[in-house]
Structure 1
Amino acid sequence: MEDLEKNRQDLLDHGFNVINNIYSKEEINNIIDAINKVDTSKDTFRKTKDLFAIRQFLKEIPETISLIFTDNFRSLLQKMIGNNFFVVKSIYFDKPETSNWYVSYHQDLTISVDKKIEIENFGPWTTKHNQYAVQPTIDILENITAIRIHLDDTDENNGALKVIPKSHVKGIYRPEKINWDIETETTCSVKQGGVMLMKPLLLHSSKRTVNNKKRRVIHIEFSNVVLPTSLKWAERLNFN
């Protein structure tokens, strides 16, 4: 594994980092096999010609937990984000070989929770398939770290994320106000078995696929925040 202390500082300073060689080819194939065996007819599954997604991924396919949380991955988590964090969201994205799915620049501004209740400075709310999401206070968003596990080699030709370094420290940064006179853009290419770590407030986008190659990613978010009043994370999973 690479110099994790430097990678950790890069994550804090720039809002993202790429670390390859976290999983072996065999470990990736075992994860893919578990996904391929699942029933895709549930409400938490979204399937179109441009995208196949599984919300609450670790809940829907619990047999992947032991496959994902290997000793190597746990060591990465401990050194990059600490010991007292837990899973708060998990999504699987499969961008097919001929996908025209394009995502413009945005920040990830919502969290998944168990119910809708009135809390000061929380909102707006959305509901999809009985799943509740809300924009929380910014300190909660700043606390989250996302790790994207790549099941395929990914570059700018099959949907690697493009990011604006250091945009995660600028609060709510509306895409229409991006100042390209001072901002730069970086493409985060990741090898199969590698991971990309990022802060949700980092401005990021994804282009269409042009090389006829898949892009399959498991996106897992971690936090150590206890939500206010009786609100709870919808997908909390302790992995220690």
Structure 2
Amino acid sequence: MIINLYHHKNSIKENGFTVINNIFSEEEIKKIGEVIQNIDTSGETFRKLEDLFAIRQFLKEIPEVNDLIFNENIKTIIKEIFGEQYFVVKSIYFDKPEKSNWYVAYHQDLTISVDKKFEIENFGPWTTKQNQFAVQPPLDILENIFTIRIHLDDTDEHNGALKVVPKSHSNGIYRPETIDWSVETEAICSVEKGGVMIMKPLLLHGSNRTTNGKKRRVIHIEFSDKGLPEELNWSEKLN
């Protein structure tokens, strides 16, 4: 069981991220991998490229994986670090293959997934991908979100571990092109297989191409405790 979550809670508050290893056993990771391998990937929420395979609305598309993901350790993290009232609002599965040249430049996660497009003050700009609506909400909603990234493989700087700018989550909307590297530093978030990285979406983050011939599979889940204006609903709300 996890010990000393207080330290991790402080790290997220101060630096915008933390890494906790040994959250899933070898057996649990194997079972999750098997469920993913056996799915029908023809639907429009599946994105297949040579460099990347992604499943949007992952927990909705593959409900049989939910019990495996929400083990006692994850439930404890949600309760102790996020709070009792937090629920899932977005989930994506990423598979970066062994020879992936997929490179992600520094960015913040600035949108939320909602059920429809509805013009509301302070919500925008809007985007639509594969019949899914995403919108940039007011800052207080973004600041309240936590993201858990579950690693199904050992991940370091050679196979696409996230690189982040510590503390950048507390600067509001921060354009990557304005990063002053004489002031800022970069950290690489290496995570062991079965470990998690927890981050705030406003943390500047990116990832490099894979250079060591090892794949990187990650389940990305976002949590919030905020309601939306009554005209909108979170598209993936799960308690």
Per the normalisation by structure 2, the TM-score is 0.99
Q: How many angstroms does 1:56 deviate by?
A: 0.1
Given residue 24 of structure 1, which amino acid in structure 2 is its aligned partner?
S
List aligned pairs for 1:1-240, cutoff 5 A: 1-238=2-239
Q: Secondary structure at the match of 1:29?
A: helix
Q: Secondary structure at the match of 1:152?
A: coil
Report how many residues are paired.
238
Q: Distance in 1 between matches of 2:154 and 2:123?
A: 38
Q: Runs in 1 of length 4+ with deviation above 3 angstroms? A: none
User: Identity over the aligned pairs, expressed in percent?
Assistant: 67
Q: Distance in 1 between matches of 2:90 and 2:187?
A: 25
Q: Secondary structure at the match of 1:53?
A: strand
Given residue 14 of structure 2, which amino acid in structure 1 is its aligned partner?
D
Structure 1: segments with no counterpart, 5+ residues: none
Q: Secondary structure at the match of 1:108?
A: coil
Q: Distance in 2 between matches of 1:9 and 1:76?
A: 13
Q: Distance in 2 between matches of 1:109 and 1:70?
A: 28
Q: Distance in 1 between matches of 2:185 and 2:59?
A: 34
Q: Distance in 1 between matches of 2:18 and 2:3?
A: 12
Given residue 94 of structure 1, which amino acid in structure 2 is its aligned partner?
D
Q: Distance in 1 between matches of 2:231 and 2:237?
A: 14
State the Cα RMSD in Å.
Answer: 0.6
Given residue 192 of structure 1, which amino acid in structure 2 is its aligned partner?
K
Q: Distance in 1 between matches of 2:197 and 2:33?
A: 18
Per the normalisation by structure 1, the TM-score is 0.98
